[in-house]
Amino acid sequence: MKDQFEIDVTEEEIEFFQENGFLSINQITTDEEIDWMKGLYDQLFNDRWGENEGNYFDLGGRRSHQGPDVLPQVLGPESRFPELRETIYFHNTVKISAKLLGVEKENINGGGHMILKPAQYGRETPWHQDEAYWNPHEMAHRLSAWLPLDPATLDSGCMQFIPRSHLQDVLPHRHVDDDPLVHALVTDEVNPDQAVACPIPLGGATFHHCRTLHYSGPNLTDQQRRAYILVVGPPGKKLDKPFKRPWIEEGQRAVANLKSRS
Ligand code: NI
């Protein structure tokens, strides 16, 4: 980007993140860049880009289900559009994340995914910790930056967090609807009364640690709610003894069975 738009976080914001496991900021990029990203975003979802390779799928519905997708997701949009790695959003996210995680900027890498909540029927993203989805053979120290491309309100499905939940281990998770063919995971060990909702204006972003419990509600509005998430951090540390995350194998087995039958 030629006109670099620099955003930084204050010492208070860094402290808040480290204590609570999340942070909300009012601006991370420009309106122009958001407009430009919307174009690429819509193209990826309209094309169902990489569906056969597993890049596009419905996070909230049963694999290969009929009918409209309730929570469509695109993984790794930067491999289709490498210019997404050159954005103000990407640049600021790496810079800010290094400070929030307390690591060198040079040590940080990562990539993105996009989650769409269609107008009126976009499904909730139930309570979970991101690390529950990840490789159990690694200790992770990463965070997600969450950039909505439409205003994020309580009714359109803004992010909600449980303060200080990043200080605990990864909790037991299960597949939504207890169906291993649904990709989305949920944990029942959460008290939603403790949730802090983070509505943000267009151009703002939230950050959360990979162990922070988070949720976003269904989209009840007449407007779609697009979000572009970057997951960044230093490489994970290999563990001698892996974490127990049986829900991951359950999902892999169910998908393998489905494929062998079709
Ligand atoms: Ni998540």
Biggest distance spanned by C-alpha atoms of the chain: 55
Specify the pLDDT at position 207. 98
CA–centroid distance, 261 to ligand 1, in Å, is: 31
- Closest CA relative to residue 83, chosen from 143, 33, 142: 33
CA–centroid distance, 110 to ligand 1, in Å, is: 15
Cβ proximity of 180 and 253 under 8 Å? yes
- pLDDT tens for residues 127-145? 999 999 999 999 999 999 9
CA–centroid distance, 29 to ligand 1, in Å, is: 21
Specify the pLDDT at position 2. 44
Count of structural domains within the chain: 1
Q: What is the mean pLDDT of residues 213-232?
A: 96
Does any domain span residue 232? yes
pLDDT band at 3 (very low <50, low <70, confident <90, very high): low
- Provide the domain limits for residue 174: 11-261
CA–centroid distance, 11 to ligand 1, in Å, is: 26
Does any domain span residue 215? yes
Q: What is the mean pLDDT of residues 82-111?
A: 96
Does any domain span residue 3? no
Does any domain span residue 4? no
Residues paired with 111 in a beta bridge: 231
CA–centroid distance, 128 to ligand 1, in Å, is: 6
Does any domain span residue 2? no
pLDDT band at 63 (very low <50, low <70, confident <90, very high): confident
CA–centroid distance, 236 to ligand 1, in Å, is: 18
**Is the per-residue pLDDT at 262 higher than 90?**
no
Does any domain span residue 81? yes
- Closest CA relative to residue 41, chosen from 93, 94, 83: 83
CA–centroid distance, 28 to ligand 1, in Å, is: 20
Q: Which CATH number is 183's domain given?
A: 2.60.120.620
